[in-house]
Structure 1
Amino acid sequence: MKKKHRAFLKWAGGKYALSDVINTMLPKGNRLVEPFVGAGSVFLNSDYDEYLLSDINQDLINLYRILQRTPDKFIKDARRLFSPENNQAERYYQFRKEFNASADPYFRSLIFLYMNRHGYNGLCRYNKSGGYNVPFGKYKRPYFPEIELNFFAEKASKAVFICDGYRQTFSHAKPGDVIYCDPPYVPLSKTASFTSYAGNGFGLDEQADLANAAEEVTNKRNISVLISNHDTIWTRKIYEHAKKQRSIEVSRTISQKANKRNKVSELLVLY
């Protein structure tokens, strides 16, 4: 049995648990293109010769590029932040303030990882001004993901990281590529909407446009596209032209209360 690899970032909607199922639906190809790479679980647990990994979150892409170029230095510097004296609310909020005031990519990458592991429930969220605003998480001993960082850095030799929207990322795809899309999911209720992890929302118009983009790239350039989302009447409708649909039940992991982590249906559609 092939060993599965966890992402070094905690991530709402991460695909570690679903990576096996996703791999069974991903067609063979030379390169996997991901317009919504997130924490990179599909990248880490798939086997393509090359990867084009994109996200609109500039902090995320800067972190990946730095880890790709100077893994030993970055891991050594990041490890210093994971200490008991830094696992306090006062220190966390000071780091968050310095992060929001800084334009230095290396410093922001270090603090981004620190806040991801010390912040509330692994959320990544910005306010409308672009300020990171996730509160302190109150964990006893935040885990430093050294093994996961090293594996990511090693596999990143196959990858190119870009910060772009999904339409722009689609434009880079060529015959022989496979595209996997893991967009912010359609909310299951009016109070469940969480689409602003990079400072700008991903609403129903964008959801429908992504489905259109998948259909276009499949028809015009003969490139396969796999998309994951919540299984709802609305998503079934916008993906009606996909050649294959598969519904699976998954456990919800964003709630801190175990009794509220109900199973929900997710949809995987292949164009």
Structure 2
Amino acid sequence: MDNNKSRAFLKWAGGKFGLVNDIRAKLPAGNRLVEPFVGAGSVFLNTHFEHYWLNDINPDLINLYQILQQQADQYVRDARQLFNENTNESGHYYEMRQQFNQSTDPYQRALLFLYLNRHGYNGLCRYNLTGKFNVPFGRYRRPYFPEAELYRFAEKAQRATFTCLPFEQVFSQCRSGDVIYCDPPYAPISRTANFTSYTTNGFSLADQEALATWARLVAQERQIPVLISNHDTALTRRIYEGAKLTELKVGRFISQKGHSRTKVDELLALF
């Protein structure tokens, strides 16, 4: 198996770079990989399908991907200017964040989204209830400008279609020859550990159940295989009943202190 893995250009909580080989090993063959929760795109970048349908409920993410797909050279040239000593400063960061929250221009938002992702705390993508990006300044010595990763994504994106739809609509439009990989906001390990506020609408336990129901439906009625990543909990084992389960131990990087970042149990459920 190919171990030369491509990194995503975005920092992303719950990103799948470390699990790519495990996920690839479980993904069935098909003509098109469909990702209803594409996130930073590590699975897209490290698989070899003829076509891709990449979806996410975050409109800023999909807007950035579409702009990079269509005008990579200009985007990289303009984004690079936002990475220097003067821009890596608290006051400047909050100015840029305010600019992002006030802007309705898709291109400006795409540039600032990358800047905020690389300069903000822990690479988090978080919005408040009014839809304003609210991640604090990250205080990194020298934020990395991911030029090579941007170009790699843009090149591969020529084989992709990007949409910003609820996952139910994606499932309803899938067809024979598709393979679906789902990386939803994870079910909480405990009631206090609910890291699902990456978009303003969150992802409820009812959403977790609905996703499992859709996966079972398309696998049984349309013979479309569905692979889902999630925490290994009593809830996920119940809702993924009948799927083929693979257990994994994965390092989690939510805690600020390195020594308290423990390994947690995850599941890959194949319908």
With the length of structure 2 as denominator, give the TM-score of the two structures: 0.98
Unaligned ranges ≥5, structure 2: none
Deviates more, 1:185-194 or 1:12-21: 185-194
Q: Match for residue 58 of structure 1?
A: 59
Corresponding residue for residue 264 of structure 1: 264
Identity of aligned residues (%): 60
Other-structure match for 2:139: 138
Match of 1:32 in 2: 33
Deviation of 1:2 after TM superposition, in Å, equals: 4.1
- Look up the SS of the partner of 2:86 in the other structure: helix
User: Partners in 2 of 1:114 and 1:256 — Cα distance?
Assistant: 21
Give the corresponding residue for 1:152: 153
* CA displacement, residues 216-244 of structure 1 (integer Å, 9 cap, x when unaligned): 111121100000000011110000021x1
**Could you tell me how far apart the structure 2 residues matched to 1:31 and 1:44 are?**
14
Give the whole-Å Cα distance in 1 for the aligned partners of 2:123 and 2:163. Answer: 23
Deviations 1:171-192 (A, max 9, x none): 2210010000000001112221
SS in 1 for 2:153: helix
d(CA) in 2 for partners of 1:169, 1:234: 24
Mapped to 1, the partners of 2:188 and 2:120 lie a distance apart of 23
AA aligned opposite 1:43? F
- 1:90 paired residue number: 91
Q: Which moved more, 1:112-121 or 1:255-264?
A: 255-264
Q: CA deviation at 1:254?
A: 2.3
Cα root mean square deviation, aligned: 0.7
Q: TM-score, normalised by structure 1?
A: 0.98
**Structure 1 segment 1-271 matched on structure 2, within 5 A:** 1-242=2-243, 244-271=244-271
Q: Distance in 1 between matches of 2:93 and 2:267?
A: 37
Residue-by-residue CA offset, 1:60-88 (whole Å, 9 max, x unaligned): 00000000000000000000000110001
Shift of 1:198: 1.5
Give the AA of the match of 2:201.
N
- Give the distance between the partners of 1:153 and 1:91, measured in 2 at CA: 28
Q: Which amino acid aligns with 2:260?
A: K
Amino acid at match of 1:98: Q
Deviation larger for 163-172 or 11-20: 163-172
Q: Deviations for 1:55-114, whole angstroms, at most 9, x for unmatched residues?
A: 000000000000000000000000000011000110000010011011111000000000
Q: Per the alignment, in what secondary structure is the counterpart of residue 85 of structure 1?
A: coil
Structure 2 SS opposite 1:269: strand
Q: CA deviation at 1:201?
A: 1.1
TM-fit CA distance, 1:151: 0.3
Q: Which amino acid aligns with 1:100?
A: N
3-state secondary structure, aligned to 2:235? helix
Any idea what the Cα deviations from partners look like across 1:26-79, whole Å, max 9, x if unmatched?
000000000000000000000100000000000000000000000000000000
**Which amino acid letter does the alignment assign opposite residue 253 of structure 1?**
F
- Please give the alpha-carbon distance, in whole angstroms, between the structure 2 residues aligned to 1:205 and 1:41: 27
SS at structure 2 position matched to 1:143: coil
- Partner SS for 1:18: helix
